[in-house]
A = this chain, B = another copy of it.
Amino acid sequence: MISGCSLSLSYFGSTSTASVFYLYSSSSSSLKLNPTRRFLFQNPKNHLRKLEPLRSGRSLVMESHKTLFDVDKFDDEFVQKLVYDALVWSSLHGLVVGDKAYQKSGNVPGVGMMHAPIALLPTAFPEVYWNQACDVTPIFNELIDRVSLDGKFLQDSLSRTKKADIFTSRLLDIHSKMLERNKKEDIRLGLHRFDYMLDEETNSLLQIEMNTIACSFPGHSRLVSELHQTLLRSYGDQLGIDSERVPKNASTRQFADALAKAWFEYNNPRAVVMVIVQPEERNMYDQHWLSSTLREKHNIVAIRKTLAEVEKEGSVQKDGTLIVGGQAVAIVYFRSGYTPNDHPSESEWNARMLIEESSAVKCPTIAYHLTGSKKIQQELAKPGVLERFLDNKEDIAKLRKCFAGLWSLDDQEIVKKAIEKPGLFVMKPQREGGGNNIYGDDVRENLLRLQREGEDGTAAYILMQRIFPKVSNTYMMREGAYHKNQAISELGVYGAYLRNKDKIIVNEQSGYLMRTKISSSDEGGVAAGFGVLDSIYLN
């Protein structure tokens, strides 16, 4: 993660395993505002910035980002009606996941289903930031493509991560081999999701993550928007709001269309789309929405294989065609393969290699996968780096505006500030994987310890700006029950990109997904929480 957002978002990041949906907690403790929050980062455009106190509280834009529904005023009976309707709608419209309490629900479709975890109502989101997030999506799509072509940049940037992280190291090994062979990918398909939070202190939209592999919920995100539109139409009078303010969300169709166009470019009418899946997948229905749209709208067959199955059943023909289980594969669409857990043995790595060697369109290539790593985001945030990949200064400025503050521990001034005001920073280890972030007073203690111990240790960490997202009361629904919680939200904007050599075929924003999580105050910061699927209401 590039930002200092103090939430572990891996539950809903590129992770599509649904098992984490079920860690229900009824705690809804409030976020205690830390007085140090009044000092904040004024200009997020500037990578090296001063900490200054806020001039006049919240800006006008942020004022308009008010709580949309005063849920405290809802009576129980009204909420229960909404909840019941939401549960019914989800069940009838395939907004479902596998129930981990039902053993077969990760393998056999149609059994052990329950509604997906959802927010009862959409979360308010200022239109200006929504437009901003949509506007930058094609630029980020293009950036990822350009970075992916710079093999040296990827290898150099990740050279230190390689030593610390065996997973990245294995990806880099395959990447190196492809570079050695001068392997070209003419048809490049990116199905991305760019995640943002609104930071209340800087009044800015800050990017949390660029997901370039296995972006989850392009199927369900459309549904949750439609659910909220339907509820607002039914109860608009009582709620006093307009269902048209929930943006239309064609994520499923747009991703399916991009896959279909890539299939068409590959130009083998007998070839299939191969979805790389985990051996157990309780979020399978989100994936099935894409496959079934591909089949019903485009008459393209999608098959599902684990990486282990690809190794067992797969081969690459002399002309580069990937054959798996006797079927030619036009596109390898990863919905697995993004964590070390997805590569428990050499079989899976052999499969990654086999896929990369083939002529199949990879969504993503190893280069795209690496481009989405946190370390590369951090590199891209350095001064002058975006300019290596993009020409248009306006575009560069737009991207940079979304970058959160990010510093090396070589920056003595920032280290001093962080020791003074540790609540404004997050200390993150360079290596991949969440859960090891350091917050609050621990930041001070660790920085002082590193100063005592000398230079070597400092290279293992970076300092990041801490994001303070708005906290709102939200009804969250899980396992048929609902709870009112103080929650924070994260906007994911999908981006589809397809090119064949010099021809850009698709480069568009492709729907969105809001994810909303319980915020709880620890001394160290906002704790990792589970998330529910959500949509936005423009205000």
Expressed in whole angstroms, the Cα–Cα distance for A365 and B296 within the complex equals 44
A210-218, A273-281, A285-293, A415-423: which one contacts chain B?
A285-293
Could you say which residues of chain B place their CB within 8 Å of the CB of A479? 111
A153 located at the interface, meaning its Cβ lies under 8 Å from any Cβ of chain B in the complex: no
In the complex, the answer to whether A288 meets B111 with C-beta atoms within 8 Å is no
A524 located at the interface, meaning its Cβ lies under 8 Å from any Cβ of chain B in the complex: no
A114 located at the interface, meaning its Cβ lies under 8 Å from any Cβ of chain B in the complex: yes
In the complex, the answer to whether B480 meets A111 with C-beta atoms within 8 Å is yes
In the complex, the answer to whether B92 meets A292 with C-beta atoms within 8 Å is yes
Expressed in whole angstroms, the Cα–Cα distance for A88 and B104 within the complex equals 14
Could you say which residues of chain B place their CB within 8 Å of the CB of A94? 91-94
In the complex, the answer to whether B109 meets A285 with C-beta atoms within 8 Å is no
Say which residue of B87, B90, B110 sits within 8 Å of A115 (CB atoms): B110
Could you say which residues of chain B place their CB within 8 Å of the CB of A292? 88-89, 92
In the complex, the answer to whether B96 meets A109 with C-beta atoms within 8 Å is no
Could you say which residues of chain B place their CB within 8 Å of the CB of A84? 109
Tell me which of A93, A113, A292, A295 has the highest count of chain B C-beta atoms within 10 A of its own C-beta.
Answer: A113
Say which residue of B91, B111, B233 sits within 8 Å of A109 (CB atoms): B91
Could you say which residues of chain B place their CB within 8 Å of the CB of A92? 94, 285, 288-289, 292
Distance between A482 CB and nearest chain B CB, rounded to angstroms: 11
A230 located at the interface, meaning its Cβ lies under 8 Å from any Cβ of chain B in the complex: yes
Say which residue of B89, B288, B480 sits within 8 Å of A91 (CB atoms): B288
A108 located at the interface, meaning its Cβ lies under 8 Å from any Cβ of chain B in the complex: yes
Interface residues of A in 286-344 (CB under 8 A from B): 288-289, 291-292, 295-296
Main SS at interface, chain A: helix
Could you say which residues of chain B place their CB within 8 Å of the CB of A296? 230, 233
Expressed in whole angstroms, the Cα–Cα distance for A53 and B229 within the complex equals 65
A234 located at the interface, meaning its Cβ lies under 8 Å from any Cβ of chain B in the complex: yes
Distance between A113 CB and nearest chain B CB, rounded to angstroms: 4
In the complex, the answer to whether B113 meets A480 with C-beta atoms within 8 Å is no
Could you say which residues of chain B place their CB within 8 Å of the CB of A91? 94, 96, 109-110, 113, 285, 288
Could you say which residues of chain B place their CB within 8 Å of the CB of A102? 102
A151 located at the interface, meaning its Cβ lies under 8 Å from any Cβ of chain B in the complex: no
Expressed in whole angstroms, the Cα–Cα distance for A470 and B332 within the complex equals 47
Distance between A106 CB and nearest chain B CB, rounded to angstroms: 12
In the complex, the answer to whether A87 meets B114 with C-beta atoms within 8 Å is no
Expressed in whole angstroms, the Cα–Cα distance for A90 and B110 within the complex equals 7
Of all chain B residues, the one with the shortest Cβ separation from A481 is: B108
Could you say which residues of chain B place their CB within 8 Å of the CB of A348? none
Expressed in whole angstroms, the Cα–Cα distance for A285 and B96 within the complex equals 14
Instruction: From known contacts A94-B91, A94-B93, A234-B295, infer whether A110 and B480 are also in contact, taking CB-CB under 8 Å.
Output: yes
A200 located at the interface, meaning its Cβ lies under 8 Å from any Cβ of chain B in the complex: no
Distance between A504 CB and nearest chain B CB, rounded to angstroms: 32
Distance between A231 CB and nearest chain B CB, rounded to angstroms: 11
Expressed in whole angstroms, the Cα–Cα distance for A230 and B292 within the complex equals 10
- 20 CB < 8 A contacts A-B: A87-B108, A87-B109, A88-B285, A89-B292, A91-B96, A91-B110, A91-B113, A91-B285, A91-B288, A92-B292, A93-B94, A99-B111, A102-B102, A109-B480, A110-B115, A110-B480, A111-B115, A113-B114, A233-B296, A234-B295
User: Told that A91-B96, A91-B285, A109-B115 touch, could you supply 6 new A-B pairs with CB distance under 8 A?
Assistant: A89-B292, A91-B109, A92-B285, A109-B480, A111-B115, A112-B114
